[in-house]
Structure 1
């Protein structure tokens, strides 16, 4: 007699679990990280950070449910490193998140460390170093996780993985000191030299007529968002940041630094022409437009390699698809009213050392002496007190399964792509430019989306606002930060310490991670200052520089500097005239003229955004 498993739910569940375990694999990568040389835009060869003696680094691949092991051997010689697997939740494995001085100590030159985690999500991700501004030097690449249950798989004939990025000819160890410098009071970010597609230029993608291709695209750049379009073809969006979506037609998309998007493209039924693929850097982010800036990268859909590769056509304006309108395929409804609301005001300003910094409210992030996760693990019951993590880690303690709302008001004239580790968030408000601070009363009146867009990186518009919600269902220590690398270096970072008492019950720090701290001579227990006796004694914790005296702002300092220079020039002119050999009458007339002159001069300087039309 046949027996239906539906009558035995426990047995059915066990068999299903065993079946999944049988299908899951262990995917191992051995990464020897070292310096190599490359010239991706053909304009300037330079040292880059490669893996296993090659650059670009390899694309990582896995299938949902797989265990991924990455054995890292740091052979850079002059720099420590780490790897962060961007967008991977690391549920139950927060030690593998890779954020230096947050979830681990650095991997010192000559040392090794193992990342070991299970991927419980699918879609398009990437990996990169997380600290020292290192990934713009080359240590970044896509990470794709396939899913047999991808809802549109039956329509797909072939898949491609593409990256877009910006590229600098100088190393970050040279660029960062020039950027974080008192001679750069407005905080003008270094402008890249070139745009790249798949870490090269003039990329060709061979296609056949009448087929449907699935493209997985990721912006692995340090600064510039990129507009992307395929001439003569529309894109059908089906995934963003690892979230499957209902189909959405787009002529052009925008990917900020760290965002990802998958889309279908159905090719034409003839082979009479090839078509340009264009990625154009968002130059509105740049304070200046250097004469040698190559802000477009062009590739081609090649139907017939014997036919010419056409120049891209000029476009009148860049209008990207509004990702706020996307609907997740799983139709997850709006989370209920939040249990905790965190409000951040984004400010770009200076501190007492005269250098430009970035702030959430009045705090510019500074990494602490003890990695924040290790403080959470060793602080006992005091782990729920945000004070033990140090003021300048900007930590917020979240309770298990709370609904958390993050409100971000942009007091800056630039765009900011904000990324949350460990979670997707629902995007329930995103204002237009120049909308000012979030008005909860007005937003409640207009209503939130019933099924909000969900992703892990969102663009905050200039002088606008956004509201995000997520469920604190992943105990760990997770950063929330701007993914423009320059702004990370400036301190636009906060820390979410999620259910620390739960962590203490379930998590074990791997031995090689403790060994990494010992090799670096970094304490791995106690509060932010390494104090294990009195956890509320933060003496010696790392701090940001003291603030400027009242009334001093970047613009004010620039104006004061120019005023002083103008005044000195004026005095020099007066002295020169005073010492000149003039006749008595002429001297008397000149003295009368000088007496009537203003003895001071002032100049002001404001940060400018230079706009330039973009060719396709």
Structure 2
């Protein structure tokens, strides 16, 4: 009987995959002039001269062939990551389709084309795809990737995809440069100038009485989590990150960057004679400061008739009532993995190094790109692939054996929120502490004493029997997380914070999973070798590009030297403020002394700021009148 059951499953699976389609896309990435929020023009990265880039819809088991050509700028590299897809290597050369630069591929340089050719397998649900080179996707190189399921466990009349994102008016590379600067010694994240809803503002969702809608929310922003509520309509959560969950009814959801939440919403049975507010709110607790021109809340509309008046803004009150991801349960009742085989504890810290820049760390290691992609090292090192030393000490490399149960413990010695994303897998959420907010009475250098790390012998909550399973989860300020997954997908998988500002600061690790099996399944493809050659990157070798002595890591890029003793972030701020004030005084004196023209103090000061490329750290106003003198 068991043989017959297995035979039937095999036959049915073969039939299902025999109906699979191949979807072919030819995309050329380039700058496109746009005005996303209607307030100011901005160059966005579009495909084939159009922005927004298109959503991709496929069915379970389908294949995708996506040719990406880089025509952005001669000095800009790119790549694509299909966020949440496993790229199961049992299908062949799948790992090199995952996308992060210098992890599973070389950068695609200007004029080069790379083919992403993969099977989605048996995954279903809501995903997205985006550039994975620095903070590039913040300039619009992102869209939904939906895998439709012919056997969805719920019914609805219409399927709507909704991207939530943040908007920076300056190009991503300028924002990154200003962020990773000695003139930003506190590491304050760049504050967006606006938020977007489906790549625009003041959007409308059209409802018809009596119908049910599946709303797929995707936070494709760089930084800030967002809240969503629909006036007088309940939302029933039915999927998170491509995993069906037991229906959970709420009136407020919270979506961190990288996360996806799908909800069912029932329209009113009869025409209500009015439209309703769909409220989108930034999580202001993530911002170090709130500029006066930043609007934290936007009202879109659920429209039963577009002739009805636009709905008024709603005060949602206590946002702490948002649905908590920890208490969601997978619909298939998958059980908690048993005792772990490997436990990794990551202490998350942010601190300044000797160049004055604030970096992010796992266990005092800030991720720095190796000289060759980690996948190249794994596939060209033979039996040495199991030795973590060849991958360098600059990427937080960990090697796992086949089918090991891996437990990841994250202790947050930082006052910020961090949504962590794992490539190639879903994980089970075993523990999630609340936030432990910073105490202003603690000096800055002692703030990490507020952290409550994970205590395995006295966990804060019972281990769930059926833990929520997803690929992106939020680590609360000064709190902790415990995650588990099974190492059953041989490959090189990135684990990182999906606040991209924290990723460019180095908050990442690389998991090398069953590399010997990976070598049996995967070979470096022609496109892979071609783009590496174009970039001047070797197609063999350890992290430093050495294939003669695999343990010789001379020339390996590493994080800067530590900060000299006695210097702190506050010390750097004081030094910069004093220097700027002194230079301003000297410059003003020289301008007044050498010119008969009466100067405007604010213009002089602003000019100096422009030369130094810094924000105003001390003077909020300089008194002037029409003649330039108060």
Aligned-partner Cα distance in 2 for 1:53–1:330: 43
RMSD: 2.1
Paired residues, number: 565
Contact 1:196 1:297 in 2 (8 A): no
5+ long unaligned stretches in structure 2: 437-449, 585-616, 619-630
Q: CA shift at 1:555, angstroms?
A: 3.0
The alignment's TM-score, normalised by the length of structure 2, stands at 0.87
1:32 paired to 2:16? no
Partner of 1:197: 197
Q: CA shift at 1:404, angstroms?
A: 0.4
Q: CA shift at 1:65, angstroms?
A: 0.5
Aligned-partner Cα distance in 2 for 1:521–1:119: 31
Partner of 1:85: 82
Deviation sequence 1:132-180 (CA, Å, 0-9, x none): 210001101111111112111xx31111111111101110121111111
Give the SS at the match of 1:391: coil
In structure 2, the CA distance between the partners of 1:566 and 1:67, relative to structure 1 (3 Å rule), is closer
Partner of 1:589: none
Aligned-partner Cα distance in 2 for 1:218–1:14: 34
1:345 paired to 2:347? yes
Q: CA shift at 1:131, angstroms?
A: 1.3
Q: CA shift at 1:44, angstroms?
A: 1.2
Partner of 1:608: none
Contact 1:197 1:298 in 2 (8 A): no
Contact 2:183 2:576 in 1 (8 A): no
Q: CA shift at 1:309, angstroms?
A: 1.2
Partner of 1:425: 427
Partner of 2:235: 235
Aligned-partner Cα distance in 2 for 1:219–1:88: 16
Q: CA shift at 1:269, angstroms?
A: 1.8
Partner of 2:56: 60
Contact 1:476 1:500 in 2 (8 A): yes
Contact 1:6 1:12 in 2 (8 A): no
Give the SS at the match of 2:285: helix
Partner of 1:107: 108
Partner of 2:493: 478
Contact 1:324 1:453 in 2 (8 A): yes
Aligned-partner Cα distance in 1 for 2:162–2:382: 46
Q: Residues 113-192 of structure 1 correspond to what in structure 2 (within 5 A)?
A: 113-120=114-121, 121-152=123-154, 155-192=155-192
Contact 1:77 1:110 in 2 (8 A): no
Give the SS at the match of 2:221: coil
Q: CA shift at 1:447, angstroms?
A: 2.9
Give the SS at the match of 2:132: coil
In structure 2, the CA distance between the partners of 1:379 and 1:440, relative to structure 1 (3 Å rule), is same
Partner of 1:531: 546
Aligned-partner Cα distance in 1 for 2:202–2:182: 39
Q: CA shift at 1:270, angstroms?
A: 2.4
The alignment's TM-score, normalised by the length of structure 1, stands at 0.88
Q: Residues 258-269 of structure 1 correspond to what in structure 2 (within 5 A)?
A: 258-269=258-269
Q: CA shift at 1:316, angstroms?
A: 2.2
Deviation sequence 1:456-483 (CA, Å, 0-9, x none): 1001000101100000001101111000
1:374 paired to 2:376? yes
Partner of 2:622: none
Partner of 1:304: 305
In structure 2, the CA distance between the partners of 1:432 and 1:549, relative to structure 1 (3 Å rule), is same
In structure 2, the CA distance between the partners of 1:562 and 1:290, relative to structure 1 (3 Å rule), is closer
Contact 1:197 1:297 in 2 (8 A): no
Which of the pair has more CA radius of gyration?
A: 1
1:438 paired to 2:447? no
Partner of 1:587: none
Give the SS at the match of 2:249: strand
Contact 2:29 2:48 in 1 (8 A): yes
Partner of 1:403: 405
In structure 2, the CA distance between the partners of 1:445 and 1:303, relative to structure 1 (3 Å rule), is closer
Q: Residues 543-562 of structure 1 correspond to what in structure 2 (within 5 A)?
A: 543-558=558-573
Contact 1:49 1:137 in 2 (8 A): yes
1:22 paired to 2:18? yes
5+ long unaligned stretches in structure 1: 570-602, 605-616
Contact 1:194 1:296 in 2 (8 A): no
Aligned-partner Cα distance in 2 for 1:530–1:400: 27
Q: Residues 440-589 of structure 1 correspond to what in structure 2 (within 5 A)?
A: 440-444=455-459, 446-558=461-573
Aligned-partner Cα distance in 2 for 1:114–1:300: 40
Deviation sequence 1:411-439 (CA, Å, 0-9, x none): 11111100011110000101011173334
Q: Residues 211-290 of structure 1 correspond to what in structure 2 (within 5 A)?
A: 211-271=211-271, 272-290=273-291
Q: CA shift at 1:77, angstroms?
A: 2.8
